[in-house]
Amino acid sequence: MIREFAPAKINLFLHVGGRRDDGYHNLESLVVFGSVGDEVTVDDEADSMSLEVKGPFAAALKDEHDNLVLRAAGLFSKLAEVEVRARLTLIKNLPAASGMGGGSSDAAATLRALSRLFPGRVTLQQLWNAAGELGSDVPVCVLPGCWWMTGRGERFASISELGTFDAVLVNSGVAISTADVFGALALRTGEKRMPRPQQFGTVAQLADYLKVGRNDLEPPAREICPAVTDALEALSRSNALLVRMSGSGGTCFGLYPSPVAAQAAAESILREHPNWWVTPATLNRGRKWEIQ
């Protein structure tokens, strides 16, 4: 059995530019991945391809008839020119529709897992080129790392200046529609507004750099879902160095100077909001990912 981790994707900032001719928006974002996430397993002792969804947030996907994991398996089958006969299992640990790229990361993990099952059949470049068929965020998730993302999300460059740092992720449990958030977007920062990051000696220096940017989708998300404001305020009360929403919401994050500080903040927020999803996480964790 092959197991592949599907880490949470966090937008440290997200600037929106103009609408493109294809209906998408141009973006500028600094993307990292976390130590928390979903898991995809592949068991090739099967007569056909199937998918089972388990985990604490599996119920949110029970009525989904076109899961991205199955679509990714179908895409890989086409690219590799092989019939995928495997039992796929998705362990859904992340809240759905939460702004952490969960579905995109699940799809990318499926592509990595199948590339290990059928080594040498598909190149990394082929996966990057084709993954956009599954969604704008899937290409950047194929090899989780630290990426400067532009275009509609299909163009990205590796950033090596950021080290590992500690955070707390908070989600109130209210799913937010990405389409609704973009539909309510009024102010756009635009592209090419942030300087590329330099080496940072402390997390505080990283936080100061990030404060120059913003998440353009945060104001409309807060208007649509007041729970986003509640999460941001809870993080602010926990003495975070920086507080921001990720993606189109509603997961918010705070940066902290140490794992101890992050753990203490998470425990404090959970005491105040025991029904929220709250977890400390290491961001930009530096794990090596490979395509066979």
Best CA proximity match to 236, nearest among 269, 212, 206: 269
Q: Is residue 249 part of a domain?
A: yes
Domain identity same for 250 and 154: no
Domain identity same for 136 and 15: yes
Question: Could you tell me the CATH number of the domain that includes residue 216?
Answer: 3.30.70.890
Cα torsion 85, 60, 232, 109 to 10°: value is 0
Instruction: State if pTM tops 0.85.
Output: yes
Distance of CA 266 to the CA centre of its chain: 20
Measured over the CA atoms of residue 84, residue 87, residue 93 and residue 95, the dihedral's sign is positive
Question: Could you tell me the CATH number of the domain that includes residue 70?
Answer: 3.30.230.10
Q: Is residue 291 part of a domain?
A: no
Domain identity same for 117 and 175: no
H helix or E strand, kind and range, residue 171:
strand 165-171
Active-site annotation, residues: 9, 137
User: Which residues fall within 8 angstroms of residue 57, CB to CB, at 6 or more apart?
Assistant: 92, 93, 94, 95, 96
Best CA proximity match to 182, nearest among 217, 152, 154, 213: 217
- Full pLDDT tens readout for the chain, 292 residues: 999 999 999 999 999 998 888 878 899 999 999 999 999 999 988 889 999 999 999 998 887 777 999 999 999 999 999 999 999 999 999 999 899 999 999 999 999 999 999 999 999 999 999 999 999 999 999 999 999 999 888 899 999 889 999 999 999 999 899 999 999 998 888 877 789 998 899 999 999 999 999 999 999 999 999 999 999 999 999 999 999 999 999 999 999 999 999 999 999 999 999 999 999 999 997 677 878 6
Task: Concatenate the DSSP letters of all residues of 246-285 into one string.
Answer: -TTSS-EEEEESSHHHHHHHHHHHHHH-TTSEEEEEEES-
Quick one: residue 195, left, alpha or beta (phi over 0 = left, psi -120 to 50 = alpha)?
beta
Domain identity same for 81 and 177: no
Domain end marker among 158, 191, 225 = 158
CA angle at residue 166 from 162 to 167, to 5 degrees?
115
Helices (H) and strands (E) in the chain, counts: 9, 10
Q: Is residue 257 part of a domain?
A: yes
Measured over the CA atoms of residue 55, residue 284, residue 253 and residue 150, the dihedral's sign is negative
Q: Is residue 290 part of a domain?
A: no
Domain identity same for 89 and 134: yes
User: Number of folded domains in the chain?
Assistant: 2
Q: Is residue 10 part of a domain?
A: yes
